[in-house]
Chain A
Amino acid sequence: MSEAWFDDAAGPVVRPYAMTRGRTRSDARLRLDLISQVVAEDGALRDAESAEAAGRPETARLGPEHLAILRGCASTSRSVAELAADLDLPVGVVRVLIGDLVDAALVRVTRPVPPADLPDEGILREVIDGLRAL
């Protein structure tokens, strides 16, 4: 197949929104900022993996990308942007998939920070000190 008409540069052969079954947005109540932190609920990954291994129906709605996200945030919280980069998927797709995991109570998400609640002086001073210590 040296004469294949597409190569890696052509991108994924599965169109990204096929993974979300065509959905382009998740629940409107869930506003996922790029830096919203996603963390798996205790035991969620283990339960999902064992359910998948046993072929139980509750995992029928979870695709491999859902499981990849669960793995990505199982031991430590990750931002939406990082999860998207790890999975090499557009942020919009990952948002929908995270919405599914929230609906299934498998992950928790911290709310984005509203502009009015930006950090106080104390946090800013900590940031400056932390940067200086780098």
Chain B
Amino acid sequence: MASAHCDPAGAEAAAPVALKILVTGGFGVGKTTFTGAVSEIRALRTEAAMTEAGRPHDDLVGVEAKATTTVAMDFGRITLGGSTVLYLFGTPGQDRFRFLWDELAAGALGAVVIADTRRLADSFPALDDLERRGLPFAVAVNRFDGARAYPVGSVRTALDLDDHVPVVPCDARRRESARDVLVTLVDHVLRTGTALRGTAPWDEGRAAGLRTPR
């Protein structure tokens, strides 16, 4: 058995290709459950501290203007074949957490938007943001006990989604179900092509230049 330092490929093999997928949606929609179901590690929680003055939602009267807000993010990891690691980041979809998105969306492969048919409007901020950024996404309609099962088509209509956006039913508690949603997303990313992925809104000119010439 060769020791690590005798293996010339060891150092290079130590750094896998790391990919990032966002898991987003409204409050309490099952982001943490989804991430935990498919992650090989217990869904970890980390905190992104933000220091910013005068954020409209943190109206802290009597507190000095420069307040630090800490937001917890859940994340999970899936190792695929040893050389590729997929990280899932559960990201709040509410407007007030939009500042987190700049960092999370940069270089992300795509996003899963989890929707609850009882509160579809909660998905709108996340959908708006993803569309604006040109980040590919799939919508997973989480099945909640007691919720009426709506056909996928009516959810698509209610969310005003383009025909090419995948909408799939999902049980965020089940590993296979969460995995199938991820397969759907990555397949969608593959189909929509690599050129436009992760393009920031201000990059539209550049992205247009990358389109296949007619």
The yes or no verdict on A and B being binding partners is: yes
Using a CB-CB cutoff of 8 Å, which residues 3-54 of chain A contact chain B? Answer: 16, 24, 33-37, 39, 42
Are A42 and B11 closer than 8 Å at their CB atoms? Answer: yes
Most central of B80, B109, B189 by chain A CB within 10 Å: B80
Query: Which B residues form the contact surface with A (CB < 8 A)?
Result: 5, 11, 14-20, 38, 44-49, 51, 70, 73, 75, 77-78, 80-81, 84-87, 89, 103-104, 106-107, 109, 175, 179, 182-183, 186-187, 189-190, 194, 197-200
* Inter-chain contacts of A114 with B (CB < 8 A): 107
**Pick the contact of B106 from A79, A91, A92, A112 — CB < 8 Å?**
A112
A79–B190 Cα gap in the complex (Å)? 25
Q: Which chain B residues border A55 with CB–CB below 8 Å? A: none
A49 to B189, CA, bound (A): 45
Does A132 count as interface, using CB distance less than 8 angstroms? yes
Q: Cβ of A127 and Cβ of B44 under 8 Å apart?
A: no
Q: Please determine whether A134 and B175 come into contact, CB atoms closer than 8 angstroms.
A: yes
Which chain B positions have C-beta within 8 A of A115?
A: 106-107, 197-200
Residue of B nearest to A31 (CB): B106
Q: Say yes or no: A34 contacts B89, CB within 8 Å.
A: yes
* Inter-chain contacts of A2 with B (CB < 8 A): none
Q: What is the CA–CA distance of A112 and B19 in the complex, to the nearest angstrom?
A: 10
> What's the tally of chain A residues with a CB closer than 8 Å to chain B?
42
Cα–Cα, bound, A46→B187 (Å): 44
Q: How far is B20's CA from A16's CA once the two chains are assembled, in angstroms? A: 27
B residues in contact with A85, CB < 8 Å:
44-46, 75
Contact status of A124 and B190, CB under 8 A, knowing A42-B11, A134-B175: yes
User: Chain B residues with Cβ under 8 A from A93's Cβ?
Assistant: 49
A77 touches B16 (CB 8 A): yes
Instruction: Tell me whether A123 and B18 are in contact in the complex, defined as CB-CB below 8 angstroms, given that A33-B106, A82-B44, A118-B198 are known contacts.
Output: no
CB <8 Å contact, A118 and B84: no
CB distance from B7 to the nearest CB of A (A): 11
| Given A124-B189, A128-B186, A130-B84, also A113-B175 (CB < 8 A) | no
| Complex: A127 Cα to B89 Cα, angstroms | 17
B10 to chain A, nearest CB (A): 9
7 A-B residue contacts at CB 8 Å? A35-B20, A79-B18, A115-B199, A121-B194, A130-B84, A131-B186, A134-B179
Question: A42 vs B81: C-alpha distance in the bound complex, in angstroms?
Answer: 24
Given A24-B51, A118-B109, A126-B14 contact (CB < 8 Å):
no
Chain A residues in 8 Å Cβ range of B200? 115
Interface residues of A in 99-125 (CB under 8 A from B): 108, 110, 112-115, 118-121, 123-125
Q: How far is the CB of A133 from chain B (nearest CB, A)?
A: 8
Given A16-B49, A92-B48, A115-B106, verify A126-B75 contact (CB < 8 Å): no
CA distance A134 to B49 in the complex (A): 34
- Bound state CA distance, A127 and B106, in angstroms? 19
A62 at the interface (CB under 8 A from B): no
Which residue of chain B is the closest to A93 with respect to CB atoms? B49
Q: Would A118 and B197 be within 8 Å (CB), given that A34-B87, A77-B16, A128-B183 are in contact?
A: yes
Chain B: CB-nearest residue to A86: B44
In the complex, whether A67 has a CB less than 8 A from a CB of chain B is: no
